[in-house]
Amino acid sequence: MFRIGRVAPILPDFVVADAFWITFSALYLVGLVLFAIKTHREHRDGTLNRARFRLVASTAIVGLMVPLFPNLDTAFQGFNAWHSFQYLGIVWLWNRRAYDAGQLRGVVPRAISRPERAGSFYLTALASTVGLLLVILCAGWLIELLSAGRFRMFGLDTIPIDPATGRPEYRPGGVLLAYYMVAFSLLLVHYLHDGHYFFRPRDLRGAERLAR
User: What is the separation, in whole angstroms, between the first and last Cα of the chain?
Assistant: 50
For residue 57, count CB atoms less than 10 angstroms from its CB and return exposed for 0-12, middle for 13-18, buried for 19 or more.
middle
pLDDT of residue 23: 95
Least confident of 31-35, 84-88, 200-204, 206-210: 206-210
Average pLDDT (116-135) is: 89
CA distance 161 to 84: 38
Task: Identify which of 9, 170, 4 has the alpha carbon closest to the alpha carbon of residue 71.
Answer: 4
pLDDT of residue 6: 63
pLDDT classification of 41: cutoffs 50, 70, 90: very high
How many C-beta neighbours within 10 Å does residue 211 have?
Answer: 9
pLDDT classification of 59: cutoffs 50, 70, 90: confident
CA distance 135 to 20: 36
pLDDT of residue 19: 93
- What are the tens digits of pLDDT across the range 151-187? 888 877 777 777 778 777 777 788 888 888 888 888 8
Identify which of 4-8, 154-158, 204-208 has the greatest average pLDDT.
Answer: 154-158
User: Bigger pLDDT: 209 or 71?
Assistant: 71
173: left (phi over 0), alpha (psi -120 to 50) or beta: beta
CA distance 153 to 144: 6
How high does pLDDT run on average in the chain?
82
Dihedral (Cα; 110, 113, 114, 118), 10-degree rounding: 150
pTM, rounded to two decimals: 0.61
Average pLDDT (8-26) is: 85
